[in-house]
Amino acid sequence: MHNKSIAVIGGGFCGMMTAVYLLQSPQPLDITIINDGYPFGRGVAYSAHTDKYLLNVRAINMSAFDDERFHFLDWLQQQPAYQKIPRNILVNVYAPRKLYGNYLQHIWQQALQNKNAATNINIIEKQAIDIKEQIDGVNIYFNDNKKMYANLVVLATGNTAPRHVFNQNKEFLNSEKYFANPWAKECVSNVRHLKNILIVGNGLTMIDTVQGLLENGFKGKLYTISPNGFKLIPHKYNLLVYEKIAEELPEEYNLREIFILVRNHIRSLTNVGIGAHLVIDALRPYTQQIWQGLSFDEKKYFVKRLSHAWTILRHRIPVHIYEMIQQQRMNGSMETIAGKITAITETADNITVKYSNHKSQKEEEIIVQRVINCTGPECDVRRSANELLRNLAASGLIIPDALHLGIEADAETGAVINRDGEKSERIFTTGGNLKGILWENTAVPDIRVHVKKLASHLSAKLQQQAIY
């Protein structure tokens, strides 16, 4: 009798960890991981090309396993550069993302060693571009016109390149001076050291890019632009945990009530000189639950009016990196603009960028040698740079969630919902694709929980004879 088969599209943290759990299944399976673009088991985040790119989550919270809190910490403690660091300090370390990728490789090797001998694992390094449902499974199509069959498929497609940031001068999108994928090494290499650069975006990817450019000897001026300007804050009070707000959370969630509760707690902390982000950290274990309890209108309001503040308090940077950026800003090597690009013109040597400056309320311009798009992953599946997601959205096998933040799916199992509102028996998703459903399902502390749940659901499903 042949094994039941499952394909996982995407070999980043989510795809690999889903497979790690499936490899533990006592039932023999044929598992195929389809991965293209970034190295298997590392994905975008953990294939960083330099040690300068750090985790933005403390070591204590980066275990790949939800039920083994110290798993990463124990591994890290054994690495040469960390052996002598006391444990109480190690918990607060922001390790290089590349090193975290080595940790994931270690997990994979162990999973292979311990797998059921009758389970087959196959990694295909090709791009999946479409899926068609069959009576008892799915056909997955590749960009070389080949296809494969599986009983179930998981879309662990992860981070897609950012949306293009300007509607004017579209020809510039094809320019060699425009860097559309901020995670590619080319963004920060081969720069002319003294000529200015514009980074579009003022978030965490901007921080990486600045570090990458400086590491490569860049000495010109760096401009960064986004509607709200630079607002990132450092991680502080690492050892403090503020639990009070959790005790006061209502049974049923109402955005207005929660907003007032959060605001009051933030006020009482900031009044005594403690940062507001402790309140947001305290809400993290409840975020998915709160989000699911909100109405569509409340979610829409949150995304429009409050998500920027949430993002600032949530996505912080290590103190030493924050200080380095502030130093760059103070010495004039870096200028952060709150504004919006209005026109881009390219000449043989330069790019002229016009923008409306929200502070001065004036139209201004700068001359730069390259423009790097660091605005964050595109969420809307219909506009995605990922051909597979676009094709699935076009055929109606997946649909965007109501807020177009990802894929409409069942929160628990990740089963996608099709154009007719039916929950799929064969196609599942996880990771950032569930942003609209869970709001926070991007960082390791959240995705490790979901992939475990997903893998357990898939194992149970594959054991049911009924799927044939």
Sites of contact with ligand FAD (CB under 6 A): 9-15, 34-38, 43-45, 55-57, 97, 127-128, 156-159, 183, 205, 386, 388, 431-432, 442-444
Strand partners, 339: 357
Strand partners, 366: 353
| Closest by CA position to 125, among listed 61, 37, 66, 50 | 37
Residue 85 burial by CB count (10 A; 0-12/13-18/19+): exposed, middle or buried?
middle
Residue 261 to residue 266: CA distance in whole angstroms: 9
* Distance in angstroms between the alpha carbons of the first and the last residue of the chain: 13
* Cβ 384 to ligand FAD shortest distance, Å: 9
Strand partners, 120: 30
Residue 170 burial by CB count (10 A; 0-12/13-18/19+): exposed, middle or buried?
exposed
* Cβ 374 to ligand FAD shortest distance, Å: 10
From the CB of residue 451, how many other CB atoms can be counted at a distance below 10 Å?
Answer: 28
> Looking at beta carbons only, is 44 or 371 nearer to ligand FAD?
44
* Cβ 110 to ligand FAD shortest distance, Å: 19
* Cβ 452 to ligand FAD shortest distance, Å: 14
Residue 167 to residue 386: CA distance in whole angstroms: 20
| DSSP 8-state symbol, 44 | T
* Cβ 78 to ligand FAD shortest distance, Å: 20
> Looking at beta carbons only, is 69 or 304 nearer to ligand FAD?
69
> Looking at beta carbons only, is 311 or 345 nearer to ligand FAD?
311
* Cβ 343 to ligand FAD shortest distance, Å: 29
Residue 393 to residue 406: CA distance in whole angstroms: 11
Contact indicator for 353, 366 with CB cutoff of 8 Å: yes
| Closest by CA position to 96, among listed 47, 60, 61, 63 | 47
> Looking at beta carbons only, is 339 or 406 nearer to ligand FAD?
406
* Cβ 386 to ligand FAD shortest distance, Å: 5
> Looking at beta carbons only, is 99 or 258 nearer to ligand FAD?
99
Residue 32 to residue 41: CA distance in whole angstroms: 14
